[in-house]
Structure 1
Amino acid sequence: MATIRKRELPSGKIVWQADYRDGGGKRRHKQFAKKGEADSFLLTARGQVRAGTHVADSASITVEKAAKLWLAQAEKNGRERATIARYKSTYDIYIQPRFGATKLAALNAPAIQTFIDELTGTMSASSLAKVHGAITSIYKHAVSRGHAAINPARDIQMPSTTRDKKRPEMPTKEELRAILKHAPAKWVPFIRTAMLTGMRASELRGLQWRDVDLDAGVIHVQRRVDRYNKFGPPKSEAGTRDIPISGPMVKLLKEWRKECPKGEHGLVFPNGEGNIEGHANLLHRVFWPVQLAAGVTIETDEKGEDGKPVLDAKYSLHALRHAAAALFIEQGFPPKKVQTLMGHASLQMTYDVYGYLFKSEDDDRSKIAEMETALFG
Structure 2
Amino acid sequence: MGQIRTRTETNTLYFDFQYKKMRCREQTMLPNTPINHKKLSVVMTKIEAEIASGKFDYARYFPNSPMLNRLQEINTVVVQPIVSADIPVIPTTPYFKDFAAQWFDELRPTWRSSTAKGYQAYIDNRLNPYFGEIMVGCIGKADILKFRSMIAKSANGKLKPKTINKFLKLFKMIIDEAAIRYDFNTPYRGIKPLKEDKVHIEPFTVEEVNKIISHVRADWRAYLIVRFFTGMRTGEIDGLKWKYVDFDKRQILVRETHSYGQWEYTKNDGSQREIEMNQLVYDALMAHKQAQGGLYECVFVTRDGQPISNSNFLHRVWTPLLAYLGIPYRRPYETRHTSATLWLGAGENPTWIAKQMGHSNTEMLFTVYTRYVPNLTRQDGSAMERLIAASIQITPPTSGIALSPDRVATEVHHWDQLLTSDEVAQHG
Answer 1 or 2: higher relative contact order, Cα 8 Å, separation at least 6.
1
Instruction: Give the counterpart letter for 1:322 in structure 2.
Output: H
Residue of structure 1 aligned with 2:326, choices 268, 288, 296: 296
Give the corresponding residue for 2:341.
326
- Write the distance in 2 (CA, Å) between the matches of 1:213 and 1:33: 73
- Write the distance in 2 (CA, Å) between the matches of 1:183 and 1:270: 16
For residues 55-90 of structure 1, the C-alpha deviation after alignment (integer angstroms, 9 at most, x for no partner) is: x85222221111111211232x24233322211221
User: Retained in 2: the 8 A contact 1:219–1:242?
Assistant: yes
Give the corresponding residue for 2:206.
173
Using the size of structure 1 for normalisation, the TM-score is 0.72
User: Residue 10 and residue 68 in structure 1: after superposition, are their counterparts in 2 closer, same or farther (change >3 A)?
Assistant: closer
The reply to whether residue 113 of structure 1 matches residue 113 of structure 2 is: no
Residue of structure 1 aligned with 2:307, choices 272, 276, 279: 276
Superposed counterparts of 1:122-137, under 5 Å: 123-137=159-173
| Cα shift at 1:357 | 3.4
- Write the distance in 1 (CA, Å) between the matches of 2:356 and 2:211: 25
| Cα shift at 1:233 | 1.2
- Write the distance in 2 (CA, Å) between the matches of 1:117 and 1:355: 36
Superposed counterparts of 1:33-182, under 5 Å: 33=86, 58-75=91-108, 77-120=109-152, 121=157, 123-143=159-179, 146-153=181-188, 155-161=190-196, 164-182=197-215
For residues 8-56 of structure 1, the C-alpha deviation after alignment (integer angstroms, 9 at most, x for no partner) is: 95524999x979999xxx965665339xxx9xxxxxxxxxxxxxxxxx8
- Write the distance in 2 (CA, Å) between the matches of 1:335 and 1:95: 42
SS at match of 1:59: coil
The reply to whether residue 203 of structure 1 matches residue 245 of structure 2 is: no
User: Residue 185 and residue 96 in structure 1: after superposition, are their counterparts in 2 closer, same or farther (change >3 A)?
Assistant: same
Superposed counterparts of 1:12-23, under 5 Å: 12=46
Superposed counterparts of 1:360-375, under 5 Å: 363=384
Instruction: Give the counterpart letter for 1:267 in structure 2.
Output: C
Give the corresponding residue for 1:47.
none
| Cα shift at 1:188 | 1.4
Instruction: Give the counterpart letter for 1:315 in structure 2.
Output: R
User: Retained in 2: the 8 A contact 1:207–1:267?
Assistant: yes
Give the corresponding residue for 1:52.
none
For these two proteins, the number of residue pairs brought into alignment is 317
Structure 1: where are the runs of 5+ without partners? 1-7, 39-55, 299-313, 368-372
- Write the distance in 2 (CA, Å) between the matches of 1:269 and 1:336: 29
Residue of structure 1 aligned with 2:252, choices 200, 204, 219: 219
| Cα shift at 1:117 | 4.2
For residues 270-318 of structure 1, the C-alpha deviation after alignment (integer angstroms, 9 at most, x for no partner) is: 112221111111122322333344x1345xxxxxxxxxxxxxxx23211
User: Retained in 1: the 8 A contact 2:351–2:361?
Assistant: no
- Write the distance in 1 (CA, Å) between the matches of 2:186 and 2:363: 27
Residue of structure 2 aligned with 1:339, choices 337, 340, 354: 354
Q: CA RMSD in A?
A: 3.7
Structure 2: where are the runs of 5+ without partners? 1-41, 51-58, 70-79, 375-379, 389-395, 401-428
SS at match of 2:275: strand
Give the corresponding residue for 2:332.
317
SS at match of 2:182: coil
Rg bigger for which structure? 2
For residues 337-374 of structure 1, the C-alpha deviation after alignment (integer angstroms, 9 at most, x for no partner) is: 4333222466544445325336799949999xxxxx9x
The reply to whether residue 32 of structure 1 matches residue 85 of structure 2 is: yes
- Write the distance in 2 (CA, Å) between the matches of 1:104 and 1:137: 12
Higher mean C-alpha displacement, 319-328 vs 343-352: 343-352
SS at match of 1:74: helix
User: Residue 340 and residue 57 in structure 1: after superposition, are their counterparts in 2 closer, same or farther (change >3 A)?
Assistant: farther
For residues 84-136 of structure 1, the C-alpha deviation after alignment (integer angstroms, 9 at most, x for no partner) is: 22112212222222221222222233432343344445511221121111111
Using the size of structure 2 for normalisation, the TM-score is 0.64
| Cα shift at 1:197 | 0.6
| Cα shift at 1:180 | 0.6
SS at match of 1:58: coil
Give the corresponding residue for 1:370.
none
Give the corresponding residue for 1:236.
268
User: Residue 29 and residue 234 in structure 1: after superposition, are their counterparts in 2 closer, same or farther (change >3 A)?
Assistant: farther
Residue of structure 2 aligned with 1:258, choices 290, 293, 297: 290
Instruction: Give the counterpart letter for 1:269 in structure 2.
Output: F
- Write the distance in 2 (CA, Å) between the matches of 1:199 and 1:364: 36
User: Residue 253 and residue 10 in structure 1: after superposition, are their counterparts in 2 closer, same or farther (change >3 A)?
Assistant: closer
Percent of residue pairs identical: 21
User: Retained in 1: the 8 A contact 2:179–2:185?
Assistant: yes
User: Residue 354 and residue 119 in structure 1: after superposition, are their counterparts in 2 closer, same or farther (change >3 A)?
Assistant: farther
| Cα shift at 1:172 | 1.4
